[in-house]
Amino acid sequence: MHDLIADPGLLYVTATVLPLVSFVLLFVGGRRWGRWGAYLACAAIIGSFVLSVVGFGIYVQTAPHHEHSQTAAASQGAGHAHAGAHSPATETTRGIQPPWSGSIYWAVVHYLGESEPAAALRLGYYVDGLTVAMFLMITLVASSIHIYSLGYMAEEQEEWVEDHQAHVRRRGRFTRFFMYLSLFCFSMLNLVLADNLFQIFISWELVGICSYLLIGYYYERRSAANAANKAFITNRVGDAGFIVGLLILWTYVGDFNVQHVFDTVRSPAVDSHGEPMPQGRQFVRVTAEVDSDGHRYYRADDQGDQVLLFRGHVHAPEKVQDTWHYEADMPTMPYWLLVVAGIGLFLGCVGKSAQFPLHVWLPDAMEGPTPVSALIHAATMVAAGVYLVGRVFPVFVPDVLLLIAYTGGLTLFVAATIAIVQTDIKRVLAYSTVSQLGYMMLALGVGGWVAGLFHLLTHAFFKALLFLCSGSVIYGCHHEQDMLRMGGLYARMKITAWTMLVGVLAIAGTPLFSGWYSKDAILVQALSFVSLNPRHFLLFLLPLLTAGITAFYMFRLWLLTFAGEPRDRHVFEHAHESPWVMTGPLVLLAFFSVVVAWGPNPFDVQGSWLEHFLHQGQPATLDHEKGYELAVVASQAATRERGGNYLARDSWLYPLFEKAALGPHDLAGALGLLVAAIGTLLALGVYYWRVLDAEEARRQFARVHAFLMEKWYFDALYSVAVVRPAGVVARACRWFDLYVIDGIVDNAARATVRLSQWDGRFDLGIVDGLVNLTADIVYAVGRSLRAVQTGLLRNYILFLAVAAVGLFALLSYLMALAG
Amino acid sequence: MTIAVEHYLLVGAVLFVAGVVCMAIKRNAIGVLMGVELVLNAANINFVAFARYNPLFVLEGQVMALFTIVLAAAEAAIALAIVLNFYNNHLTVDVDAAEDLKG
Amino acid sequence: MSAEALFFWLLAVTTMGCAIAVVVTQNIVRAAVWLLFTLGGVAGLFFLLGADFVGATQIMVYVGGTLVLIVFGVMLTAQSPFVTMRAGAGEWGLTLVVGGVLVGLLAGVLFLSPWTGPQSDSAAPQSRSVALGSDPARSQTVRDLGLVLLGIREVHPNGSIPVPIRDADNNPQSVPRREIGYLLPFELASVHLVVVLVAAAYLARARRRTGSPSS
C-alpha cells in the first residue's frame, strides 16, 4: 500500500493486469463457469475503473501548481505567451506533473563478457496526464459496455443457439465473448500504459487480434469471417509501416523508450554544461561542411539533409555569422529517413484508426456484435491510432504532420459523404466514426495536439453511447438493422430514443454537449493554421463543411429510426424496450456525453476542464517550433490564450476577421455552429417536415448517389488494384506449385516408389530367403532329432550308456593318435 | 595270486554294468530302482578299494562310501515315493507308460 | 592262493553272479532276493578290504533298510503277485550288446592303467599289488571315522593318515597332527536325510483318487 502511494504508477499497472487475470481465468475455466465468468470479467474491468479513478485523484492532488498556473496564464494575456513560449521557465510555470514511470528488463542481449547490455527490450509504464485521461475513458466505457453486454449477449447463455443468418445451430459462446473482451481491455490499457514503442507495438497487435476475433465472433456467417479477414489484412498493411518506423528508430536511436527517442532526435533545452541551446526542443537539420582550415563542422540549415542526434555529451553550438556550427563528431541521421520513420509510424495509425486509404475495413467490422462495435470499433481501439500519433508527436517532422492533416481531412470528408446514403444503422455510425477519427487526425496534423486528443476522449463517450443505442434498437427489433424498415420507434423505446438523441446532439456539436467543446477546438486549430498557411485552406474548409454533413446524417439516422410513421408494421409491433442492464449503461454514457467536457462555466466553450487537464500533458516540444511550425505554435498559443486574437496580419483572411471584429476562435465556432444548424435543419426538412422529398433528391443526383452508395468505389478500386492482381499472382503461384513443385515432388515420389519396389524384391528374395533358409535348416534338424526324444526312461539310459561307450572310444582313439 | 586293486575294480565294473543294463531293460519302476542301487554299490566298492590301496585315501574313501550309503537310502525313499505317486496316477508301475515327454 | 584271494574270489563271483541274476530274472520279487545277496556280497568285500564300519553300515542300511523299503514298494504297487513286464527280444539284444561293450571297455581300462599311488617311495610298504591290511590295527577304523566325522583328522608325520609310526614294540612313535575333518558334510547329510524323509512322507501320502482310473 505504501508503495502504491509512493509510486501510483503501480496502480495503473495493477489496473492493466486485472483484465489479463480475468482473461487467463476465463481461458482456463472456460464455459464451465457460465454467467459467473461474465461477472468475473465485469468485476475485473470495474476494478480497473476504480483504480483509474483513484489514480486520477492522486494525480490531481499531487499537481502542485495546477490551478495557479492556469489562472496565471489566463490573466497574463496574449503578450506574455509569446515571451513565455521561448523561455525555459515555461515548463515550471505550467506546472507539468513529472510522469510516473518505471520499467524492467524484458529481453536483453549482451556482448560476450560484458555486463552492460548491448541491446535491451524493456517492459515499462509511463503515466502522464494523457495516460490518466485515457485510462479513465477506456475503463469507464469498457465497464459500461461489459454490463450492457450481459443483456445484449444474453441469448448466448443457452446451450444451443440458432444463428438465423448462417442457418446453423451452434453452442452458445457467452464466456468466450467476455474472455475476448477481457483480453482486449488488457491490450488496450497496456498500449496506453507502455513507455516504449515496442511494448506499444505488442499491444497494438494484441488489440488487432482481439478485433479480429470479435469481428469474426459469428464466424459461421461468411460475411463475418470475410470482414474479420479484411480488417486483419488491412491492418497488416499499416503495421508493416509501423515496423519500418520502429526499425529506423531502433537503428539510429538504439532505444524504443518514447522519451529517449524524443530526447535523441530533438535538441535538448540546455547542453551538458547547462548552456542554453539555441535550437532547443527542435529538430536540428544540418549540412556537413569544411571551412578554409580543413576544419569539419555541421552548419545548421533548414534545408540540410542530415538531422543531428543528441546522445551522450552535448556541446552548445558555436555562433558563426548568422548561423550555428555544431561539432563534427555528433551522430546524425538522414532527414529523409526521419520522414520515412514518421510516415511509417503514421501508416500504422492509418490502419488502426481507419484513415483514408485504409478505412475500408471499419464499416465491414460492423459484422461483430454491437457491444464490440461500440467498444472496439468506435470508442477505444480505433482511437489507438490517434493516441499513438499524440504519443509520438515529437517524432513527426513538419512534412509528416502536413501529411497527417491532409489524410485526416480527406478521411473525414469522404466518410461523412458516404454516411449520408447508408441505410444500415450501424454502418452510418461506422462511417461517422471514420469521419470523426479524421477530425482527430486533422487536428493533430495542424498542431492541435490538445484538440485532437480532446476530441478523442469526448468522441469515445458519445460514440459508445450511439453504438449501444443502435444495439438496443437492433436488440429491440429482433436483429433488424435496416433503418428503412424502422420508424416511429420512439413510442416503443423511449429511453433508447432519448439517450440516442443526446448522442446525436453531442456528435453534431450542439452547445453544452461535449462534442461542442472538442469540435470547436479542432475548428479553431484548423482556422489558425489556415490563416498562416492560406495554401492549405482545404484543411479548414473540409472540417467545416463536414460539420454540417455530420449534423445532417446523424439527425437523418435518428429521425428515420424513431420519428415518423412506422414503415414496417411487423418490426414495429414486435419492437420492445431493452432490459435495464442495457438501458442503465445508456443513461450513464448519456450523462457523461454531456458533462465530460464541462468546465467551471459550461457556457464557456474554451473553459473545458478536460481540455485544460490534457493541456498539461502536451509535449514540451510544441512550444518551440519555427518556420512552418510557427503556425503550429501560433494556433497552439491561440488555444492556450483562450480567445487571444491571433492572426497573421499578412493573411488574406485578415480583412475578413477585421470586418467581423472576431478572433479566429469566435469565427470558427460561429461558422461551425451555423453549418451544423444548416445540416440539422436540412435533415429535419427532409425527414421530419417532409418539405423536401428524399426520393426526388436521389433521382436528381442519381450518379452522385450511386457514387456514394459504392463508397467512392474504394472497394471496387481495391478489388481491381489489389485483390485481383493478388488473385492473378496467387493463380500463377498455384500453377507453379501444381505443375513445377508438385511435378518435382511427384517424380521424386515415383522414383522412390520404383526404388522401393526393387528394394522390396531384394528383401523378399534374398534377405528373406536367407532368413527362411536358416529357419528351414534349423526346423529340419529339429524334426529329425525329434525322433530321439522318445520320452521313454529306459531309452534314455541306453543312450547314456551308448554315449559313454562312444566317448570312451573317441577318447582312446584320440589318445592313440596323440601317442 | 595277489589280490590287487584291479580285481575289486573289476567287481565294481561288473556291478555297474549290471546296474545300467538293469535300468535299461526293466519295465518295472522298482526294477529300475534296483539297478540304481547296483550302480551305487559299484561306486562304493571302488571307493573302499581305493581307500584300502592308497594310504592317502584311507579315511576319505570310507567317509565317501558312508555318505554314498546315506544318500542312496535317501534316494531310495524319494524314488519309492515317486513310484507310488506314479502308480496312483497311472495304476501301473510300467515306466513305458510315462511317455508324456515324447517329442 | 592265499586265504584273502580265496575269500575274494568267492565273494566276487557271488556278488557278480547275483547282480547278473537281478538283471536277468523277470520276477520282481525274485530280483529283490537276488539283490539282497548282491548287497550282502558287497558287504563281505568291504570287510575283506578292512572297512569294518562301512561294511556294517552296508548291511544295516541296505539290507535292513533300503531293501525292506523296496520290498514294501513291490507289495504296494503290484497289481497281481505274478505280474511281469517283459522287454522285447530286440531290446534285450541291443542292451546286452551295449552292456557287453561297456564291460569290455571298463575291464580293458582297468587292466591297462597303472594303479601306482602317488607316494610309492614312502616308508609305508605299498605297491599296486601289496595290500596294507597286514596291520591288525588297520582294520579298526571305527575310532578314526568317528573322529573324522566329529571334525578331527589325525595326520601322522609320515603322511599316512590313520597309521602311526611304530617302533619294534609296536608302540606309536609319533604324535599325530590334528587337522579339520568332515563335520560339516556330516551335518549336511543329516539335514539332507531329514528333509528327504519329510519330502518322501509328503509325496507318498495317501490321496483319494478322483475321477476314473483311465484319466
A297 close to A270: Cβ distance less than 8 angstroms? no
Cβ of A791 within 8 Å of Cβ of B32? The answer is: no
Rank A132-146, A151-165, A703-717 by mean pLDDT and report only the highest: A132-146
Contact at 8 Å (CB) between C42 and C12?
no
Percent residues over pLDDT 70 in chain C: 72
Interface residue B40 vs chain C (CB under 8 A):
no
Q: Write down the mean pLDDT value for chain A.
A: 80
Q: Which three cell numbers stand for residue A602?
A: 459550461
Can you say whether residue C166 is alpha, beta or left, with left for phi > 0 and alpha for psi between -120 and 50 degrees?
beta
- Residue A66 is predicted with a pLDDT of 42
**pLDDT recorded at residue A597:** 81
Residues A173, A177: Cα–Cα separation, whole Å? 6
Neighbours, chain A (3 or more CB pairs < 8 A): B, C
User: What is the average pLDDT across B12-33?
Assistant: 92
- Is residue A748 pLDDT above 90, yes or no? yes
Q: What pLDDT is recorded for position A90?
A: 36
Per cent of chain B over pLDDT 90 is: 43
Residue A311 carries which DSSP code?
-
Residue A110's SS3 state is strand
By C-alpha distance, the chain B residue nearest C38 is B38
Distance from B39 to chain C by nearest Cα, in Å? 10
Residue A514 in contact with residue A458, Cβ under 8 Å? yes
Note every long-range contact of A381-384, with CB atoms under 8 Å and residues 24 or more positions apart, other chains counting.
A381/A184, A381/A188, A381/A207, A381/A210, A381/A211, A381/A352, A382/A352, A382/A353, A382/A354, A382/A433, A382/A437, A383/A353, A383/A437, A383/A440, A383/A456, A383/A459, A383/A460, A384/A188, A384/A191, A384/A204, A384/A207, A384/A349, A384/A352, A384/A353
Range of weakest confidence among A379-388, A595-604, B37-46: A595-604
User: Which C residues, 80 through 119, put their C-beta within 8 Å of a C-beta on chain A?
Assistant: 87, 91, 94-95, 98-99, 101-102, 105, 109
CA A688: distance to chain centroid? 38
Minimal Cα distance from C31: which residue of B? B31
Note whether A802 contacts C: Cβ–Cβ < 8 A: yes
Does the beta-carbon distance from A787 to B101 stay under 8 Å? no
* Contact assessment for residue C117 and residue C125, using Cβ atoms and an 8 Å cutoff: no
Give the pLDDT score at A731: 92
pLDDT of residue A626: 35
B96 close contact with A: CB closer than 8 A: yes
Sign of CA dihedral A742, A745, A750, A753: negative
Please answer yes or no on whether C39 and B72 come within 8 Å at the CB atom. no
Phi-psi region of A18 (alpha: psi -120 to 50; beta: other; left: phi over 0): alpha
pLDDT in the model for residue C39:
93
Closest Cβ opposite residue B24 in set A786, A791, A798: A798
* pLDDT band (50, 70, 90) for residue C207: low
Neighbours of A434 (CB within 10 A): 27
User: What is residue C120's predicted lDDT score, i.e. its pLDDT?
Assistant: 41
Residue C21 pLDDT: 94
The CA distances from residue A369 to A23, A156, A213, A244, in Å, are 19, 11, 11, 33
Arithmetic mean of pLDDT, A425-448: 88
Host H or E run for residue A643:
none
- The residue behind cell 497281481 is C80
A103 forms beta bridges with A124
Query: How many other CB atoms sit within 10 Å of the CB of residue A547?
Result: 29
Confidence of residue C139 (pLDDT cuts 50, 70, 90): low
Q: What is the per-residue pLDDT across A234-267, written as a single tens digit (0 to 9) for each? A: 888 889 999 999 999 888 887 888 888 888 888 7
Nearest chain C CA: its distance from A802 CA (Å): 7
The pLDDT-based confidence of A95 (bands split at 50, 70, 90) is: very low
- pLDDT for the residue A68: 39
Give contacts of C101 with chain A, Cβ < 8 Å: 805
Q: What average pLDDT is seen over chain B?
A: 88
**CA A461 to each of CA A79, A138, A392, A698: distance values in angstroms, whole numbers, following the listed order:** 36, 9, 24, 33
In whole angstroms, what is the distance from residue A399 CA to residue A341 CA? 12
Distance CA A673, CA A662 (A): 15
- Closest listed residue to residue B45, CA positions, set C113, C102, C62, C185: C62
Q: Work out the pLDDT band at C9, boundaries 50, 70, 90.
A: very high
Beta-carbon contacts of C196 under 8 Å, excluding residues fewer than 6 positions away, are: B74, B77, B78
3 state SS for A60-79:
HHHCCCHHHHHHHHHHHHHH
- Residue A688 to residue A685: CA distance in whole angstroms: 6
Which residues in A lie closer than 8 A to residue B13 (C-beta atoms)? none
Amino acid A83: pLDDT? 34
On the CB side of A406, CA atoms within 13 Å amount to 9
Contact A801 C94 (CB under 8 A): no
Instruction: Give residue C198's pLDDT.
Output: 92
Which helix (H) or strand (E) segment holds residue A168: the answer is strand A168-171
Supply the DSSP symbol for A513: S
Alpha helices for chain C (secondary structure H) = 3-24, 28-48, 52-57, 67-77, 89-112, 142-149, 183-203
A803 touches chain C (CB under 8 A): no
User: Which of C87, C94, C105 comes nearest A805 by C-beta?
Assistant: C105
Q: Per-residue confidence at A750, pLDDT binned at 50, 70, 90?
A: very high
User: Angle, to 10 degrees, between the axis of helix A335-352 and the axis of helix A381-391?
Assistant: 160
User: Is the CB of B23 less than 8 angstroms away from the CB of A786?
Assistant: no
What was the pLDDT predicted at B37?
93
User: What is the 8-class DSSP label of residue A491?
Assistant: G
Q: What span, in angstroms and rounded, lies between the C-alpha atoms of A248 and A337?
A: 7
Q: How far is CA C157 from CA A38, B44, C154, C162, C173, in A?
A: 108, 29, 10, 11, 10
CB of A810 within 8 Å of a chain C CB? The answer is no
Q: B31 to chain A, minimum CA–CA distance in Å?
A: 11
Distance of CA A779 to the CA centre of its chain: 80
Strand runs labelled E in C148-187: 152-155, 177-180
Torsion of CA A747, A753, A759, A760, to 10 degrees: -170
**8 A C-beta contact, residue A554 and residue A672:** no
Q: Are B46 and C115 in contact (CB under 8 A)?
A: no
In the structure grid, which three cell numbers stand for residue C124, read together? 609305508
Residue A743 to residues A734, A739, A752: CA-CA distances in angstroms? 12, 5, 14
Q: What is the per-residue pLDDT for A749?
A: 94
Whole-number pLDDT of residue A163: 75
Beta partners for residue A169, in sequence order: A162
pTM for the structure as a whole: 0.62
How far is the C-alpha of A51 from the C-alpha of A125, rounded, in Å?
A: 15
Q: Which long-range contacts (CB under 8 A, 24 or more apart) does A777-780 make?
A: none
**Whole-angstrom distance, CA of residue A814 vs CA of residue A754:** 60
Cell numbers found for residue A676: 451544423
Q: In angstroms, rounded to a whole number, what is the distance separating the alpha carbons of residues A82 and A818?
A: 131
Q: Look at strands A323-327 and A296-300 and give their pairing.
A: antiparallel
CB A225 within 8 A of CB A213: no
* DSSP code, position A164: T
What whole-number distance in Å separates Cα of residue B87 and Cα of residue B85? 5
* Whether residue A777 has pLDDT greater than 70: yes
What's the angle, vertex CA A338, arms to CA A335 and CA A344, rounded to 5?
A: 145
CA of A757 vs chain B CAs: smallest distance (Å): 43
Q: Report whether pLDDT(A77) > 60.
A: no
Query: Could you give the count of Cα atoms lying within 13 Å of B37 in the half-sphere of its Cβ?
Result: 34
Note the pLDDT of residue A639. 43
Cross-strand pairs, A105: A122
Q: Do C98 and A802 touch (CB under 8 A)?
A: yes
DSSP helix/strand/coil, C155: strand
Sign of CA dihedral A214, A216, A218, A219: negative
Q: Which chain A residue lies closest to B25 (C-alpha atoms)?
A: A794
The pLDDT, as a whole number, for residue B20 is: 93
Amino acid at A734: R
Residue C122 — pLDDT band, cuts 50, 70, 90? Answer: very low
Most confidently modeled of A194-208, A415-429, A619-633, A770-784? A770-784
- What average pLDDT does range A807-811 have in this prediction? 88
Chain centroid to CA A98: how far? 26
Residue A713 has pLDDT above 50, yes or no: yes
Instruction: Label residue A671 by pLDDT band (50, 70, 90).
Output: confident
**Greatest mean pLDDT range, A171-175, A736-740, B54-58, B89-93:** A736-740
Alpha helices in A30-65 (DSSP H): 35-62
Q: Is C101 close to A805, i.e. CB distance below 8 A? A: yes
Closest listed residue to residue C163, CA positions, set C148, C141, C130, C183: C141
Least confident of A151-155, A462-466, A657-661, A678-682: A657-661
Q: Is pLDDT of B15 > 90?
A: yes
Helix (H) / strand (E) element for A818: namely: helix A793-818
